[in-house]
Amino acid sequence: MPTYPGEFTGKQIHSKDYKRPTDLDGSRVLVVGAGNSGCDLAVEAALTFGRSELSLRRSYWFIPKYVLGIPSSAFDIGSVPLPKLLQEKMFRSIVFLGMGSFRHFGLRKPTHKIFDQDLVVNQQLPYFLKHGRVTIRPEIDRFVRRTVHFIDGTQSAYDTIVWATGFKTSFPFLRDGLLDWENGQPKLVAHTFAPGLANLHFAGLVAPRSGAGMLLMNSARLLAEVAMLQQRLPTPIGDLYAIVSKPSAQILAGGPELRWEVLRGRLLVRAMTGLVTVAGMLSGPAGTTASVPDLPLPTQGGVARRLLRPLLAAGRANA
Is pTM beyond 0.85 here? Answer: no
Q: What are phi and psi of 188, to 5 degrees?
A: -125, 155
- How far is CA 208 from each of CA 26, 75, 118, 166, 211, rounded to the nearest angstrom? 36, 13, 9, 16, 6
Neighbours of 212 (CB within 10 A): 15
| Distant-in-sequence, close-in-space partners of 303: CB < 8 Å, separation ≥ 6 | 243, 244
Of 238, 235, 225, which is closest to residue 315 (Cα–Cα)?
235
Q: What are phi and psi of 218, to 5 degrees?
A: -70, -35
Q: Which domains does the chain have, with CATH numbers?
A: 11-163 (3.50.50.60), 181-317 (no CATH)
End-to-end Cα, the chain, rounded Å: 56
Beta bridge partners, 207, equal 252
Please indicate whether residue 148 or residue 199 has the higher confidence score (pLDDT): 148
pLDDT (tens digit per residue) in 127-168 = 999 999 999 999 999 999 999 999 999 999 999 999 999 888
When pLDDT is averaged across residues 281-294 and rounded to a whole number, the result is 49
pLDDT (tens digit per residue) in 28-69 = 999 999 888 999 999 999 999 999 999 998 888 888 888 778
Of 260, 275, 285, which is closest to residue 314 (Cα–Cα)?
275
